[in-house]
Amino acid sequence: MEIMDGRVATIHYTLTDDDGIVIDKSAPDAPLSYLHGAGNIVPGLEQALTGKQPGDTLTAEVPPELAYGPRHEQLVQQVARAAFPEGADISPGMQFEAHGDRGPLVVMVTEVGEAEVTIDGNHPLAGRTLHFAVEVAGVREPTADELSHGHVHGPGGAHD
C-alpha cells in the first residue's frame, strides 16, 4: 500500500540542519504516524513521501517555503520586563502565548535584560532548510475517528 492522501503513514525520521546537526529524530521504538494530506507534517516532507511504500527510504531537502516559512524580523520584539508578572523567573528558551493583532501567538524568550525581554514569534525552524532522512515503516487506512478528527490517534500519532 502506498502513501497517499487520507492514509496513515508511519515513518522513522532524522531531521538535520545544513551543517548535519540532528535537530530531531524519531525514537527507534516509536516511529511517527500521521494522516497524509491533513497538514500534520511540513508540506515539503509530505510531498516527498507521496507514493512511497513500507520499506522505502528517502532523503528530502525541504526549503523554508515548504517547511515553517521565512523568518519575519517584525516578530522579534523587545518587551518591558514590567509587562511580566513580578518575580517571574524569565529565561531564554521559555515559551508562552502572547496576544497580537492576529490573535494568539506562541513566542520564545531569546534574551533577558534588566529592563527589557526580547521575544521571538517565529517558529524556531523558520527560515531554515530542513534535511530529512526517512524510512517508511508502514501505511494503513485510517479509522473513521482519525479521518473525522484529521489526525492519528494513539501511540506515535502526530497529535497524541
Q: Is position 55 within any domain? A: yes
Q: Is position 114 within any domain? A: yes
Per-residue pLDDT tens digits for 123-153: 999 999 999 999 999 999 999 999 999 999 8
Q: Is position 155 within any domain? A: no
What is the DSSP pairing of strand 116-120 with strand 103-112?
antiparallel
Measured between alpha carbons, how far is 122 from 100 in angstroms, rounded to an integer?
A: 13
What's the CATH code of the domain at 37? Answer: 3.10.50.40
In degrees to the nearest 10, what's the CA dihedral of 49, 53, 58, 60?
0
* Side chain identity at residue 12, one-letter code: H
Q: Is position 103 within any domain? A: yes
- pTM here is 0.82
What's the CATH code of the domain at 106? Answer: 2.40.10.330
Q: In this predicted structure, what is the pLDDT of residue 9?
A: 98
Q: In this predicted structure, what is the pLDDT of residue 160?
A: 44
Q: Is 9 helix (H, G, I), strand (E, B) or coil?
A: strand
Per-residue pLDDT tens digits for 23-32: 999 999 999 9
Q: Which residues are within 8 A (CB) of 21 and not within 5 positions of it... i.e. 6 or more apart? A: none
Measured between alpha carbons, how far is 130 from 67 in angstroms, rounded to an integer?
A: 7
Q: Which residues are within 8 A (CB) of 89 and not within 5 positions of it... i.e. 6 or more apart? A: none
Q: Is position 3 within any domain? A: no
Same domain, 22 and 63: yes
Q: Is position 156 within any domain? A: no
Q: In this predicted structure, what is the pLDDT of residue 86?
A: 85
Same domain, 103 and 55: no
Confidence of residue 155 (pLDDT cuts 50, 70, 90): low
When divided into structural domains, the chain yields a total of 2
Same domain, 94 and 129: no
Whether the pLDDT of residue 158 is over 70: the answer is no
- Expressed as residue numbers, the domain containing 78 is 73-120
Measured between alpha carbons, how far is 130 from 10 in angstroms, rounded to an integer?
A: 19
Per-residue pLDDT tens digits for 20-65: 999 999 999 999 999 999 999 999 999 999 999 999 999 999 999 9
